[in-house]
Amino acid sequence: MYCPKCGQLQISEEVRFCSRCGFLLEAVPSLLATNGISPNYTPPANRPLSARSKGVRQGAMLMLSTLFIVPVTAIFFVGVLDGPEEIVALAAVFCFVGGLLRMLYALMFENSYPEPDATAAPYSAPAVPQFERMGRNAGLPPAPANAAPSWRPQPNTAELVHRPSVTENTTRLLDKDEPGSR
């Protein structure tokens, strides 16, 4: 088996971590057996809608409800109650423009990401318990064949001479310029 992260050939199929990069290899055999689909994977068929998607749907339904509300309003108010015909026009305008405004509001101001489900677990446990089985590969991987070179000893800096400070040199120059020193 090869590490999917770095490509290192592993010693055994039972190795838990890659010896080169440390990648967790416990789930790799199960992924290979299922053609890359996790056993815990559920397809996102019932994922929640975002606020933006809900708003666009509400606006579209309000615009489409114009096709039902306007004829019903015309039959009821104008035909049955002999009311003013302006009510039918107002119902048509309010439903259509209201749906359009709801869609525009959703597209401009509402969040496009669905709210996270509070009941869903953010982490799924590995298929095989990690710490329960103790096998022959329970420890760290073996040391590499080519070990890192040893550190060189720290150099002795005691022989370096410290330079005098700036104030000492300036004081010497001032001492030379005094009139009594000549």
The predicted structure's pLDDT at residue 44: 59
The mean of the pLDDT values for the chain is: 76
The predicted structure's pLDDT at residue 18: 83
Structure tokens at 164: 């005098």
Give the whole-angstrom CA distance, residue 169 versus residue 175. Answer: 10
Give the whole-angstrom CA distance, residue 70 versus residue 91. Answer: 6
CA-angle at 179, arms to 177 and 180, nearest 5°: 115
The predicted structure's pLDDT at residue 97: 92
Which residue numbers in the chain have pLDDT < 70?
A: 36-46, 116-139, 147-150, 158-164, 176-182
The predicted structure's pLDDT at residue 180: 58
In this structure, are residues 46 and 53 in contact, taking their beta carbons and an 8 Å threshold? no
Spatial CB neighbours of 178, under 8 Å, sequence gap ≥ 6: none
Closest CA to 102 of 146, 50, 61: 61
The predicted structure's pLDDT at residue 98: 92
In this structure, are residues 7 and 22 in contact, taking their beta carbons and an 8 Å threshold? no
- The helix/strand count (H/E) of the chain reads as 4, 0
CA quadruple 152, 157, 160, 164: dihedral sign: positive
The predicted structure's pLDDT at residue 39: 65
The predicted structure's pLDDT at residue 90: 87
Q: What is the pTM of this model?
A: 0.40
